């Protein structure tokens, strides 16, 4: 500003820097809130996998798949808890960065406040001396005034004030000289402060940008790690064999390979007669069923238990 005592430009810079600090604080709070959500979600997943029954009476290969399923869900929960801790660490780094910038900037602000105060006081003093000097100007020795009768009436007063006039002039000159030195000092300090503030703002934007980039990478990494755990579940389901599970159950619970024989008729009424009882048919071994059908998916649904061609992208 052309006004020597104005701080409108400086105030605008300080306001912008304070807004930047506020924005960093908002992102810091966002990370903390996200950490709370991730931790709560992770704990809920772990509790779900440990406490909620999920096919606990299944046997053989499907049982192993379900065990893998619950273990990987537990691992996903642990991953979310670890992500929550990572987010808290990133929030702490943002807080440390923000407070460090505040501390460094405060030193410059104190210097600028002092020099603004000194500049304004000297400017006020100089203007007061200038006004005092202007008070004596009407008594200047112009030709018109010399011809006026009032001149002779004021001549004595002018002589008396001549010494004060000279002192005032010297004081005015000294004030102007001092003000100019202070103005140059203020201008130099103002330029240094602006350069410092610009450096800080560049650092803040760069740090903020990198922090946001890192946060997104962390979330992406969490998704990839979770998908790897889910892939273990899919691989386990690939090993699940319907034929083997049915055979396993049959072998585990089998009671024999022959069906019960038919009950023969016995004639208790005519027990005296020699009746040749009907011969019971020989037990017939139970034949196994044909091959089980392969599970199929409904139209529009993903293929059953397959990971062929699967991509993590």
Q: What pTM, to 2 d.p., does this model score?
A: 0.68
pLDDT in tens, 222-252: 899 889 988 998 999 999 898 998 899 889 8
Range from 139-148, 254-263, 275-284, 297-306 carrying the lowest mean pLDDT? 139-148
In the predicted model, what is the mean pLDDT of residues 160-167?
Answer: 68
Q: Is the pLDDT of residue 78 over 80?
A: yes
CATH class of the domain comprising 7-142+153-252: mainly alpha
Secondary structure (DSSP) of 23-58: HHHHHHHHHHHHHHHHHHHHHHHHHHHHHS-SSTT-
Give dist(CA 93, CA 91) in Å, integer. Answer: 5
Element (DSSP H or E) covering residue 9: helix 8-51
**CA nearest neighbour of 87 among 271, 223, 212:** 212
Percent above pLDDT 70 for the chain: 75
**What's the chain's average pLDDT?**
81
Res. 178 pLDDT band, cuts 50 70 90: confident
115 close to 154: Cβ distance less than 8 angstroms: no
pLDDT (0 to 100) of residue 308 = 47
Q: How confident is the model over 30-39, as pLDDT tens digits?
A: 999 999 999 9
| pLDDT score of 122 | 84
What's the pLDDT band for 272 if we cut at 50, 70, 90? Answer: low
256 band by pLDDT with thresholds 50, 70 and 90: confident
Mean pLDDT of 189-203: 93
Sign of the CA dihedral with 304 first, then 306, 311, and 312 last? positive
pLDDT computed for residue 96 by the predictor:
95
pLDDT of residue 312: 40
- DSSP string over 129-147: HHHHHHHHGGGS--HHHHT
Backbone torsions φ then ψ of 285, nearest 5 degrees: -60, 145
**What six digits make up the tokens of 197?**
């503030």
Say if residues 232 and 74 touch (Cβ distance below 8 Å).
no
The single-letter DSSP state of residue 255 is -
Distance, in Å, from the CA atom of 300 to the CA atom of 94, rounded to the nearest integer, reads: 47
> What 3-state DSSP class applies to 125?
helix
Q: Which residues contact 259 (CB under 8 A, 6 or more apart)?
A: 283, 284, 285, 286
Sequence-ordered list of residues with C-beta below 8 angstroms from that of 194, at least 6 positions apart, any chain: 13
DSSP string, 261-312: PPPPP--STTTTS---PPPPPPPPBPPPP-PPPPP-PPTTSPPTT--TT---
The pLDDT, as a whole number, for residue 33 is: 96
User: For residue 310, is pLDDT > 60?
Assistant: no
């Amino acid at each position: 500003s052309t006004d020597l005592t104005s701080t409108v430009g400086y105030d605008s810079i300080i306001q912008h820097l304070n807004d930047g600090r506020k924005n960093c604080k908002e992102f810091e709070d966002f990370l903390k809130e996200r950490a709370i959500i991730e931790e709560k979600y992770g704990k809920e997943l772990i509790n779900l996998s440990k406490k909620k029954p999920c096919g606990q009476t299944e046997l053989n290969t499907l049982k192993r798949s379900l065990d893998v399923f619950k273990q990987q869900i537990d691992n996903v929960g642990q991953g979310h808890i670890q992500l929550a801790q990572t987010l808290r660490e990133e929030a702490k780094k943002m807080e440390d960065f923000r407070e460090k910038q505040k501390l460094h900037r405060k030193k410059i602000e104190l210097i600028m406040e002092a020099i603004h105060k000194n500049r304004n006081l000297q400017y006020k003093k100089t203007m007061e001396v200038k006004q005092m000097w202007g008070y004596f100007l009407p008594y200047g020795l112009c030709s018109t005034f010399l011809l006026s009768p009032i001149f002779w009436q004021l001549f004595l007063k002018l002589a008396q004030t001549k010494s004060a006039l000279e002192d005032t002039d010297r004081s005015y000159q000294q004030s102007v000289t001092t003000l100019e030195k202070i103005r140059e000092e203020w201008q130099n300090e103002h330029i240094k402060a602006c350069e410092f503030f610009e450096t800080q703002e560049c650092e803040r934007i760069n740090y903020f940008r990198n922090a946001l980039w890192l946060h997104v990478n962390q979330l992406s990494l969490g998704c990839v790690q979770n998908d790897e755990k889910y892939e273990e579940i899919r691989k386990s389901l690939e090993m699940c064999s319907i034929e083997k599970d049915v055979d396993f159950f049959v072998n585990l619970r089998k009671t024999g390979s022959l069906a019960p024989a038919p009950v023969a008729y016995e004639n208790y009424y005519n027990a005296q007669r020699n009746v040749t009882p009907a011969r019971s048919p020989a037990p017939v071994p139970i034949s196994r069923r044909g091959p089980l059908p392969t599970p199929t998916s409904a139209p529009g649904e993903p293929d059953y238990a397959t990971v062929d061609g699967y991509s993590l992208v």
